[in-house]
Amino acid sequence: MTKILLTGATGSMGRAIRPLLGEIATEVVLSGRREITDLAPHETFRLAELHDAASLHAAMQGCDAVIHLGGYSIEGPFAPIMEANILGLYNLYEAARANGQPRILFASSNHVVGFHAQSDVIDASAMPRPDSLYGVSKVFGEALARFYFEKFGQETAILRIGSCFDEPTDHRMLSTWLSYRDFVAFCRAAFTVPVLGCPIVYGCSANDRSFWDNRAANYLGWQPQDNAEAWAAQVEAAIPNPDPQDPLHVYQGGKFTALPIHQEGDDA
């Protein structure tokens, strides 16, 4: 069994998956910028900031695996994206190198390929077509993971997460939704498969309407159990006439493709 470091433990996805991690780990080190005090017996907390290399080194000590959810997770001004997703990711990989190279689950994003059309089904060999500065930072993250694999043998599962929320709430999410339990099952597969390597996998449940072909990752043995189709009637009733010209329904990255670039002085 495993001691897992969860970065970004206080973020919305971190909070949602935390109760499930006891199923795949004997110990969980929660790290983040705000202290967590309601710890279960198998949990500890380490205050860590992605831009503070020393705090990451300390948090990773003795860990066998890392679920890296920390970082800037939406479109925004470039400075904080750069600090968390570029400098912060470099700090994370250096901390791993100094701590016996635990396997890393890197939470990449569908926004790496956001400008691919929803009418196309793509696989891991698709060209990156980032839809935002945030998506560009995740392209960097995927390249960094690959670099540490080629150079040092550091194994990473690069998961291009679709929409990891309680349930799908619009038509796009009927394609992109990833349930929390399917995410945790993916972590289990990535941390237990004998040879992981550095695969790129699309993070969605077994959705009938998926845009993504994950057959190249079959060797991981991951079989998502949930299907967004169970919410189709609810979504269609709530949004009966989706506009087919709306970027939300044209591109895989949905509304991110239409967001303006933040200028200095804009609100974050």
**Distance from C-alpha of 259 to C-alpha of 217, rounded to nearest angstrom:** 32
Q: Which is nearer to ligand 15L, 96 or 174 (CB)?
A: 174
Min separation Cβ 204 and ligand 15L, Å: 10
Enumerate residues 6+ apart whose C-beta is below 8 A from 84: 50, 51, 70, 71, 72
Considering only the stretches 104-112, 207-215, 226-234, 258-266, report the one whose residues sit in contact with ligand 15L under the rule CB under 6 A.
Answer: 104-112
Nearer to ligand 15L, 7 or 73 (CB): 73
Task: List the one residue from 7, 31, 55, 73 that touches ligand 15L (CB under 6 A).
Answer: 73
Marked catalytic residue, from 134, 180, 202, 251: 134
Rule CB under 6 A: which of 156-195 touch ligand 15L?
161, 163, 176
In the numeric block, the tokens 């925004």 are attached to 76
Binding segment (CB under 6 A) for ligand 15L, from list 95-103, 105-113, 124-132, 219-227 = 105-113
Query: Given the structure tokens 């060797």, which residue do they identify?
Result: 219
7 binds ligand 15L (CB under 6 A): no
Helix, strand, coil percentages (3-state) for the chain, rounded to 5, are 40, 15, 45
CA–CA gap between residue 74 and residue 243 (Å, rounded): 24
**Cα-Cα end-to-end distance for the chain:** 41
- 134 in catalytic set: yes
- Total binding residues toward ligand 15L, as defined by CB under 6 A: 8
Q: What torsion do the CA atoms of 92, 266, 136, 134 make, to the nearest 10 degrees?
A: 60
Integer CA distances (angstroms), 227 to 112, 174, 242, 251, in order = 23, 8, 21, 21
Distance of CA 156 to the CA centre of its chain: 12
**Least CB distance to ligand 15L at residue 44 (A):** 26
By beta-carbon proximity to ligand 15L, the closer residue of 110 and 214 is 110
- Residue 10, interface with ligand 15L (CB under 6 A)? no
Residue 87's alpha-carbon distances to 40, 49, 71, 135, in angstroms, are 31, 11, 10, 15
Among 68, 111, 129, 188, binds ligand 15L (CB under 6 A): 111
Nearer to ligand 15L, 111 or 171 (CB): 111
Q: Which residues are catalytic?
A: 134
Q: Can you give the binding site for ligand 15L, defined by CB under 6 A?
A: 73-74, 109-111, 161, 163, 176
